[in-house]
Amino acid sequence: MTQYDNCSQCSEEVTEDSDFCPHCGVLFAAAERELCEIHRTINATGVCIICRKLVCPQCSKIVHGRTFCLDHKDVEVQQDWATVFESTEINDAELIKSVLEKAQYRVLVQNFGSIGYAWDGGGDSSQSRSNLSRPAKVFVPIPEYLEASKTVEEWQSSASNEGQ
Ligand SMILES: [Zn+2]
Ligand SMILES: [Zn+2]
Ligand SMILES: [Zn+2]
């Protein structure tokens, strides 16, 4: 039986033997002697919730109480989901969604349907495109973000090669 505890920082459930909270990235007491993976002389203060790298205050950013490394500080997260793709072109977002679903990722979407098709045909006018201000977003669970974003990149590069 796995024992659960609650994170002292974000109150989410964590397994009792965890060294860090996967939801907010705070390091628990048992792991407080861990060193930052970049600055090997400085104690780590948290773990990037995207890549699980140990980070110190110099190489991390706290966003809404959650720890990110500098590589992932711009990844948008909502609850336990991370935005892996966003576009004001609903067709692109639909395509990425189906690519990820085919690769067996769990996928959530936002702003699908509420945007797009604002354009009433008749050429590619920049006027109508600028109306699509709320990008459609595709989310995957945070632990699957790195793999999923690789899948998206690979798909995008193979798609652009085919187009040539
Ligand atoms: Zn937490
Ligand atoms: Zn990271
Ligand atoms: Zn550091």
Q: Is residue 48 part of a domain?
A: yes
Pair (35, 92) in one structural domain: no
How far, in Å, from the CA of 75 to the mean position of ligand 1? 18
Q: Please give the distance, rounded to the nearest whole angstrom, from the Cα atom of residue 146 to the centre of ligand 2.
A: 9
Q: Which ligand is nearest to the CA of 48?
A: 2
- For residue 30, the enclosing domain spans 4-69
Q: Identify the CATH number of the domain in which residue 133 sits.
A: 3.30.70
Same domain, residue pair 46 and 88? no
* Ligand 2 mean position, distance from CA 71 (Å): 6
The number of distinct structural domains making up the chain is 2
pLDDT of residue 132: 52
- Output the CA–CA distances (angstroms, integers) from residue 113 to 88, 120, 139, in the order listed: 11, 15, 16
Q: What protein residues have CB closer than 5 angstroms to ion ligand 3?
A: 36, 38-39, 56, 58-59
What is the crossing angle of helices 90-102 and 145-162, to 10°? 120
Tell me, yes or no, whether 107 and 61 share the same domain. no
Model pLDDT, residue 48: 97
Burial of 3 (0-12, 13-18, 19+ CB in 10 A): exposed
Same domain? 50 vs 101: no
- Each residue's pLDDT tens digit, 68-124: 999 999 999 998 999 999 998 889 999 999 999 999 999 999 988 754 444 444 455
Rounded distance from Cα 22 to ligand 3 centre (Å): 19
User: For residue 84, is it within any domain?
Assistant: yes
Q: Residues 87, 149: one domain?
A: yes
Same domain, yes or no: 51 and 122: no
> Per-residue DSSP letters for the chain?
---EEE-TTT--EEETT-SB-TTT-BBPGGGTTPBPSSSTTSB--EE-TTT--EE-GGGEEEETTEEEETTTTT--EETTEEEEEEES-HHHHHHHHHHHHHTT---EEESTTTSS--S-SSS--HHHHHT--S-EEEEEEGGGHHHHHHHHHHHHHHHHHHT-
Both 12 and 49 in one domain: the answer is yes
Cα 120 to ligand 1 centroid, rounded to whole Å: 47
**Domain end residue (candidates: 37, 69, 101):** 69
Mean pLDDT taken over the chain = 87
Whether 141 maps to a domain, the answer reads yes
- Is 24 within a domain? yes
83 and 134 in a single domain? The answer is: yes
**Which of 69, 86, 103 is a domain's end point?**
69
In a domain, 164, yes or no: no
In a domain, 124, yes or no: yes
My answer on whether 61 and 96 are in the same domain is no
Give distance in angstroms: CA of 72 to centre of ligand 2.
5
Instruction: Report if residue 35 sits inside a domain.
Output: yes
Mark whether 27 and 63 lie in a shared domain: yes
Is residue 52 scored above 60 in pLDDT? yes
**Residue ranges with CB less than 5 Å from ion ligand 1:** 7, 9-10, 21, 23-24
- pLDDT tens figures, 40-50: 999 999 999 99
For residue 126, report the distance from its CA to the centre of ligand 2, in Å: 36
